[in-house]
Amino acid sequence: MIILGIETSCDESAVAIVKDGREVLSSVLYSQVQEHLAFQGVVPEIASRSHLKELLPICRQALQQAHMDFDQIDAIAVTSKPGLMGALMVGVVFAKSLAYALKKPLIDVHHIYGHLVSISLQEKPIQFPLIALIASGGHTTLVQMNSFFEFTILAKSIDDAAGEALDKAAKLLDLGFPGGPAIEAFANGGNSNAFDFPMPLKGELNFSFSGLKTSLLHKIQKHPNMNAQEKKDMTASFQETIMNSLCEKLALAQEKTGIDNLAICGGVAKNQVLRDKIGSLVQGGELYMTPMAYCTDNAAMIAAAAFYTQQKDGFAGLDLIPKASAPML
By CB under 5 A, name the binding residues for Zn ion.
Answer: 136, 297
* String of contacts with ligand KG4 for each residue 8-37, x by CB under 6 A: --x---------------------------
CB of 102 to ligand KG4, least distance (A): 28
List residues bridging with 216 in a β-sheet: none
Residues 104-143 that bind ligand KG4 (CB under 6 A): 136-138
Q: Does 79 bind ligand KG4 (CB under 6 A)?
A: no
Cα 175 from chain centroid (whole Å): 21
By C-beta, is 33 or 318 nearer to ligand KG4? 33
Instruction: Give the CA radius of gyration of the chain.
Output: 20
Window 153-172: residues binding ligand KG4 (CB under 6 A): 163, 166-167
CA dist., res. 133 & res. 137, Å (int): 13
Residue 184 binds which entry of Zn ion, ligand KG4, none, CB below 5-8 Å type-dependent: ligand KG4
Number of residues near ligand KG4 (by CB under 6 A): 19
Q: What is the spatial distance between Cα 94 and Cα 59, in angstroms, rounded to a whole number?
A: 10
Which CB atom, from 140 or from 254, has the smaller least distance to ligand KG4? 140
Task: Please identify which residue in 268, 278, 316, 320 interacts with ligand KG4, judged by CB under 6 A.
Answer: 268
Are 41 and 177 in contact by the 8 Å Cβ rule? The answer is: yes
306: enclosing H helix or E strand: helix 300-313
266 is an interface residue for ligand KG4 by CB under 6 A: yes
Binding partner selected for residue 178 from ligand KG4, Zn ion, none, CB under the kind-specific 5 to 8 Å limit: ligand KG4
Please tell me the distance from the alpha carbon of residue 192 to that of residue 170, in angstroms, as a whole number. 16
Residues 6 or more apart whose Cβ sits within 8 Å of residue 182:
170, 175, 176
**294 phi, psi to nearest 5 deg:** -115, 15
Distance CA 3, CA 6 (A): 10
For ligand KG4, the binding residues (CB under 6 A) are 10, 136-138, 163, 166-167, 178-181, 184, 266-268, 270-271, 296-297
